[in-house]
Structure formats: structure tokens, C-alpha cells
Amino acid sequence: MTDKKVSENDLKTLYLHGFLSSGNSYKAQWFKKRNIQNSAHPLGEMFCPTYSQQSLADGLKSIDTTLARWQKQNSRICLIGSSLGGYLVQYYAHKYAIPYIMINPALNPLSLFDDYLGQHTNPYTGEIIEVNEAFFSVLADLQVSQLNPEIPSLLLADKADEVVDIPFALQRYKALPNAKSILFPGGDHTFQHLPEAWEEIKLFIAEQETKTSR
């Protein structure tokens, strides 16, 4: 779950994958590889857990437990989430007041999942996931009605994302003083601009480190 090479600082980065994905997804492994290749380990100690979606409430409980433990240890934390993971990190960032990064986030998943009703098999884990009223109920409990303008955030999106509502996400964050949004041309929901986004992510994290050291 974690890089063998650990940063000298106490930063811990938690990456949350999207629907029907896992901690072994392409983006998760791409970030882990880039973090290891950089001797400064800009993401610190990186964790890419595969949280359960078959029992979404249990999967979220495991994330909660991890974040609560890190805060108790006074660790610096950064969250990164893609697609549904972007929706999740928005929630946890507000619950624990920590910086967060969203990649093509599904910030209105209740309407999005209307098209996914029924059973689905996670191709990474083989887990059978039932999208039903119980699933919707868990997601509804994670809605953040009022964004906290004090929490730093970075929104990275491909303009041509064919799955999630990118204009909705951009509109939601456009007026926040500590929020930065970057819209890349073209692309799709898998997100085609990881190398460019990597530079923005490093800069975002470095800025948070500067703020905490003052």
C-alpha cells in the first residue's frame, strides 16, 4: 500500500480511485512511480488503497480510520482523488480540514449514477457492486453543501471528459480564494494530461508546505 522509499518529511498522500477502479489503476501507479523517481518524494509517503465499493459504507470507514490515525499522529496530509474519488476527497477534506486535489471529479454523482443502476463487476478486483438506493444513500451523506473557502484545493480537468460534468465542477470552485482550477484542452475521462498535472500538483503541495512552515 505504501512506497518503500519514505520522504524525510511527515507528509502522507492518500489517493482515492474512482468507481470500478482500484489502488492498482493506471493513475494510482503512475503517481507512485513518479513519486519514487523524484528523490525529494514530493508526495511524501503515498498510499493508494483499494476501498470496497460492494459495501461502500465499509470502504469509507476504512478511509476514515486511516485519516483519523494520521491526524492523531500530527502528520501533514494531502488528498488526491479521481472521478468518484474526487467526490470522496472533497468530503474528507472538509471533514478533516486538509488540502485536496481532484482529477476529473464526479461532484454530482447522484445524477451521474442514474445511468449505472444495477450490478457491475470491478475489473480490477472482481467485486460485484450493486448500484441501488442503499448505494445512493451512502453517496448522499457525503455531499458538501457549503465549501469551506479556507481549505486549499486544486481541480484538474480535461475539457472533453465524456463522463462527468466538468462545467459543474469548475463553477462550484471558481469563486473560492484558496481554490485553483486548471482546464486542459481535449482529453477524456481517463485524463490525458498527467505529466502537465504532475507539475501543478508538486507546486500545490510545495505551497502548502510553505504555508505551514511560516
Residue 87 and residue 113 in contact, taking contact as beta carbons nearer than 8 Å = no
Q: What does the pLDDT average to over 185-191?
A: 96
Phi-psi region of 74 (alpha: psi -120 to 50; beta: other; left: phi over 0): left
Residue 7: count of CB within 10 angstroms of its CB: 19
Region 11-208: CATH code: 3.40.50.1820
Beta carbons within 8 Å of 109's beta carbon, 6+ residues apart: 84, 87, 139
User: For position 210, what pLDDT does the model report?
Assistant: 76
List the single range of 2-16, 21-35, 101-115, 149-163 with lowest mean pLDDT.
Answer: 2-16
Beta carbons within 8 Å of 59's beta carbon, 6+ residues apart: 51, 52, 53
pTM exceeding the 0.85 threshold for the entire prediction: yes
pLDDT at 169 over 80: yes
pLDDT at 7 over 50: no
User: For position 9, what pLDDT does the model report?
Assistant: 58
Identify the CA nearest to 79 among candidates 173, 126, 12. Answer: 12
Residue 211 vs residue 123, higher pLDDT:
123
User: For position 110, what pLDDT does the model report?
Assistant: 92
User: For position 212, what pLDDT does the model report?
Assistant: 67
pLDDT at 126 over 80: yes
Q: Are strands 100-103 and 76-82 parallel, antiparallel or unpaired?
A: parallel
Q: Read out DSSP for 189-205? A: TT-S-HHHHHHHHHHHH
pLDDT at 214 over 60: no
Quote the mean pLDDT of the chain.
93
What CA–CA distance (Å, rounded) separates 114 from 210? 42
Q: What percent of the chain has pLDDT over 70?
A: 94
Residue 104 and residue 21 in contact, taking contact as beta carbons nearer than 8 Å = no
Half-sphere exposure of 126 (CA within 13 A, CB side): 0
